[in-house]
Amino acid sequence: MLPTDADPVLRELQQLSGEARRVRRALRSAESAHRTALASELEALLRRTAELRSSEAHGALVDDALDARARSLRVAAEARLADRRTAERRRQADDLVARAIADGRPLTAGEQRTVRSLLGTGTGTDRDAGSDRDLDPARDQNDAVWHRSITTERVRDDVLEALGTVALRDARRQLRTGLLMTDQMRRIIAEATPAMLRGDPILLVGETGGAKTALAEHLSRAAIGRDPELISGYGDITSAQVIGSHELRAEGGATSSVFVAGPLLRAMAEGRPVILDEVNAMPPEFLKRLNRILQLRPGDTLAVQEDAGRAVRIAPGFVILATANEQTPHRYRGLDRLSAELVNRFGANSYRVHYPDAARDYADFPAENALLAAAAIADDRGELPPELPVDALHRVARAAFISQQVFAGAHGEGFDAFVSTEREIDGRPGLEESVLAPRTLVALLQKVADSAGTVTLDRALTRFVEGVMHREDRRVLALIIEGQGFRIR
């Protein structure tokens, strides 16, 4: 990508390059009747590009810009390599800790020094003791050498742009595998992984659409290395559906009753995680049995009442991950409050999953929502579709951020403008039932990006607001969205 802010020729070349890529993409799937027109369009774009680059008036400018871009990309590549080395050291430290946990033993003194060295947390005492950090004293200097290549503001801006594109491509890849790695998610994963390796149950609590289930699925695959069994909570689910039941089957001309294991028993026997999604929507009679099950660990056995007391031995890899929505009055109908006894079974392994940017003030830039919005629609080059420019993404990310905080009950300067006096007196959040949650934001933007320009962002936001059943919520959401410059009509 050429720097375009200083010269209209460079700006035109950038636009020509982007349009040529779009035409080539269209050519790959075009029918024969349309291919001739597309080929002519591409030829015209390439001809104009060649004219600009071969012109005596502009050739030197373009060459200088390309050289500067190449230098900036080399610096960005060095920075990226340094980040990867840091990430690899972190992974090695995590693997060392995970092996010790899997063996049921503490780290040795030497392993502790190695972990501190890998994480860059060695102390003077460690160095005096001959820690691994002393084996590579130039490591930190090598990782930071790319900083010295930034000699001008132009290089700095180009490097930041290149690193931003790489970060966006990484975020796009993460989102397509199910979970955007925000700082919050990384912290929960780092802390929950050792507990999961021990077989300790995990509880994830948060508001709707905050990626609790996606986090549970990621933890299952990353920590245990197995796909989980997923059990969705709803009011009339029975213990038999979760644990198993008898079925009549015809064999050899006779009918017999055969016990068929449910997803919970399958996970126990196969050594797989099980996700109890929206556990507080499950019936009380199952939650009572869950109290006992939460005490079990790999190696223990469970006597299955539904199968005449047959014992099932729990294989390594079995662990329970439960998700629950917040216990908020006036919201999440059909949900029961989890008993203190049940919550205590999770011990210190209960994690509150906040909406992105939860720690930010009203006037702060919602960086995590903005990254999520961009990652939802970026192509494999890390570029955004022309119908969704950066400014529009920033504004819709801010609208999402405000709605999420108002829904979660945030008060204070800025947020109070969306909370009615009645709700403030009652201690209720400014939004009762609806929110522009992270998953809603992603779906809305993908709808626009995938519409080939037939659905505008204003129209998609209007459809979202129109679909809200709660009248006061519709008013508040329209106020938030229109406050960011969108038209709700």
pLDDT digits (tens, 9 = 90+) for 206-227: 989 999 999 999 999 998 999 9
Confidence at residue 294, expressed as pLDDT on a 0 to 100 scale: 93
Question: Once rounded to an integer, what is the mean pLDDT over residues 412-427?
Answer: 82
Percent of the chain having pLDDT more than 90?
40
The answer to whether 279 and 324 have CB atoms below 8 angstroms apart is yes
Domain annotation covers residue 30: yes
Average of per-residue pLDDT across 237-261: 80
User: Does 84 map to a domain?
Assistant: yes
What mean pLDDT is predicted for residues 10-19? 79
User: Does 125 have pLDDT greater than 70?
Assistant: no
pLDDT digits (tens, 9 = 90+) for 464-483: 999 999 999 999 999 999 99
Same domain, 280 and 421: no
pLDDT value, residue 329 = 52
- Residue 243 token pair: 């644990």
Joined together, the tokens standing for residue 134 give: 């002393």
pLDDT given for residue 328 in this prediction? 59
> Span 155-168, mean pLDDT?
71
Q: What is the pLDDT of residue 445?
A: 96
> Do the domain assignments include residue 472?
yes
Q: 402 lies in a domain?
A: yes
Q: Is the model's pLDDT at 126 over the cut of 70?
A: no
Task: Decide if 189 is inside a domain.
Answer: no
pLDDT for residue 189 is more than 50:
yes
Do residues 66 and 129 share a domain?
Answer: yes
**Minimum mean pLDDT range among 145-149, 290-294, 420-424, 433-437:** 145-149
pLDDT of residue 452: 84
Shared domain check, 164 and 27: no
| Same-domain status, 431 and 457 | yes
Question: In the block, which residue shows the tokens 């056995």?
Answer: 301
Question: Are 33 and 70 found together in one domain?
Answer: no
**12-26, 61-75, 348-362 — most confident range:** 348-362
Same domain, 348 and 203: yes
Residues 212 and 290 in one domain: yes
72 and 151 part of one domain: yes
Q: Do both 345 and 203 map to the same domain?
A: yes
pLDDT at 281: 85
For the residues 296-313, what does the mean pLDDT come to? 90
Which is higher by pLDDT, 135 or 364? 364
pLDDT value for 167:
84
Backbone phi, psi, residue 422, to 5°: -60, -45
| Owning domain of residue 144 | 55-176
- Which tops the pLDDT comparison, 403 or 160? 403
The CA-based angle 289-295-299, given to 5 degrees, is: 115
pLDDT at 142: 52
Same domain, 213 and 306: yes
Instruction: Identify whether residues 207 and 291 lie together within a single domain.
Output: yes
247 φ/ψ angles, rounded to the nearest 5 degrees: -130, 145
Local confidence band at 157 (pLDDT 50, 70, 90 cut-offs): low
Same domain, 28 and 159: no
When divided into structural domains, the chain yields a total of: 4
What does the pLDDT average to over 130-138?
43
Share of the chain above pLDDT 70, in %: 85
Q: Does a structural domain hold residue 296?
A: yes
- Asked, for residue 138, whether it belongs to a domain, the answer is yes
The whole-number average pLDDT for the span 401-420 is 89
445-461 residue pLDDT tens: 999 999 988 999 999 99
Strands 254-261 and 244-251: antiparallel
Query: pTM here?
Result: 0.76
Is residue 181, in this structure, part of any structural domain at all?
no
3-state SS track over the chain: CCCCCCCHHHHHHHHHHHHHHHHHHHHHHCCHHHHHHHHHHHHHHHHHHHHHHHCHHHHHHHHHHHHHHHHHHHHHHHHHHHHHHHHHHHHHHHHHHHHHHHCCCCCCHHHHHHHHHHHCCCCHHHHHCCCHHHHCCCHHHHHCHHHHHCCCHHHHHHHHHHHHHHHHHHHHHHHHCCCCCCHHHHHHHHHHHHHHHHCCCEEEEECCCCCHHHHHHHHHHHHHCCCCEEEECCCCCCHHHHHEEEEEEEECCEEEEEEEECHHHHHHHHCCEEEEECHHHCCHHHHHHHHHHCCCCCCCEEEEHHHCCEEEECCCCCEEEEEEECCCCCCCCCCCCCCHHHHHHCCCCEEEECCCCCCCCCCCCCHHHHHHHHHHHCCCCCCCCCCCCHHHHHHHHHHHHHHHHHHCCCCCCCHHHHCCHHHHHHCCCCCCCCCCCHHHHHHHHHHHHCCCCCCCHHHHHHHHHHCCCCHHHHHHHHHHHHCCCCCCC
Is it the case that residue 124 has pLDDT exceeding 70?
no
Final residue of a domain: which of 142, 176, 210?
176
- R_g of the chain, CA atoms, integer Å: 28
pLDDT of residue 97 exceeding 90: no
